[in-house]
Amino acid sequence: MKQKLLHKTLKLYIIFSVLVLLFTAPIFYFIADEIQLEEADEALLLRQHEFESILLPGFKQTDIAKWNGWNRDIKIEPANTLIKTSQFSTGNYLNIMDGDFEPYRVLKSPVIIDGAPYILFIKINLLKAEHMVYNIVMLYVAIIFFLLIGLFIISRWYLAKLWQPFQQLLLQLEHFEINNPVNIAYSSTNVDEFYRLNTVIGKLISRNIIIYNNQKEFVENAAHELQTPLAVMQAKLDNLIQADDISPALANGLTQLSNSITRLNHINKNLLLLSRIGNDTYIEQQEVDLAKVLNQQLAFVQEQIDAENITITSHLANAPLKANIALVEVCTGNLLTNAIKHNYNGGTIHVELIGNLLTVTNTGTTTELDSEKLFTRFTKINPASHGAGLGLAIVRKITGLYGWNLQYQYQNNLHVFSIRF
């Protein structure tokens, strides 16, 4: 599935940003949590230092019970197990005021009172600190989230505006036709790449229009100039063939030469026709009875059909069409001639016209033809054919001129050519 460049870019930005968010949010939380624990440990050590430096020197065993009664977070407990250094731990303890278990950071440190070992038990409530860490993380996530939304909106709006000259140029190029060129309106842009693209495409189009016009003029002039010499040669050969004093071998050679000139003359007329179509020579249009034209063309090729022993059937409903009648005759005639040339002796052809759909179906080769080369000039799908490969190219030129839909299909061992008008 194809995607626009802008959408692919935004998709990449969003995926990358979400991955960064998912990866950094837990890391940020754990780092903040560690910092909070370090701050709690420093506060516990400060309280331990204050107790040991200020209160412990004059502290007596008889003061322990009174001390524990007045202090909730600093207790002195008997040393049931001997510890040599201060120890930190985290646990849940009952908050007497709230009646709930809450997280605390605890410091246990050994102390000596009146020569007896005791444990100094100091704890700090972590609930407020955890709430602070949680709020910081949520703030971080919210900032990143709004940053993503802002990035998406700004990128979509800004990049769409930034790529607008390219989109406008692309739209005009999609509708550009070399045989009917129109001036490309280049959008004003301060983006260097787009400016260079406009300049290069402008030069490219100008060069190709000049080359196309020169080529078209050359083909038309050459085809026009060749008509008279070919007609003279054909007339001379016809006179020589009809002479009484030539040998059979010479007559056979002259006949082959005459056939070659006839074929050359046919190619010349087709090239001239293509050139004239490109020059909009056949602008005049009229109401054409397509069924009548097809019947005339079928009568015209009847001799070829009989020679090849081809069975032809037709179903032609009245279908009025507005076009140039000469081009309609050439188009339908070429389709029928193609169906005959690429058929085999004893084959079949079926011509059907229903509504705005014309279908020509014929037998022939048992394999599907290359649809990409089928309508290309001078391309011969069947090497044994005597044609020049211009018939279907002319059909495509005419259908393209009027915007008709030309298609080829291979169905049930039959070659199907259809034109939807």
Contacts of 396 (CB under 8 A, 6+ apart): 375, 406
* pLDDT under 70: residue ranges of the chain: 1-10, 94-99, 127-133, 179-180, 219-220, 222-226, 263, 265-283, 377-389
3-state secondary structure 320-359: EEEECHHHHHHHHHHHHHHHHHCCCCCCEEEEEEECCEEE
For 40-62, the pLDDT digits (tens) are 888 889 998 998 888 888 888 88
Report pLDDT for 271.
66
Report pLDDT for 129.
58
CA distance 91 to 68: 20
CA distance 35 to 46: 17
Query: Residues 345, 308: contact at Cβ < 8 Å?
Result: yes
Q: 35 vs 43, 126, 132, 143, 307, CA distance in Å? A: 12, 12, 12, 21, 100
For 311-353, the pLDDT digits (tens) are 999 998 877 888 888 788 888 888 998 899 888 899 999 999 9
Report pLDDT for 406.
92
For residue 68 the two structure tokens come to 């524990």
* Residue 75, H or E segment: strand 74-78
* Residue 28, H or E segment: helix 5-50
Report pLDDT for 357.
92
Residue 34 half-sphere exposure toward CB, CA atoms < 13 A: 6
Query: Residues 109, 48: contact at Cβ < 8 Å?
Result: yes
Report pLDDT for 353.
92
pTM: 0.47
Report pLDDT for 31.
78
CB atoms within 10 A of CB 350: 17
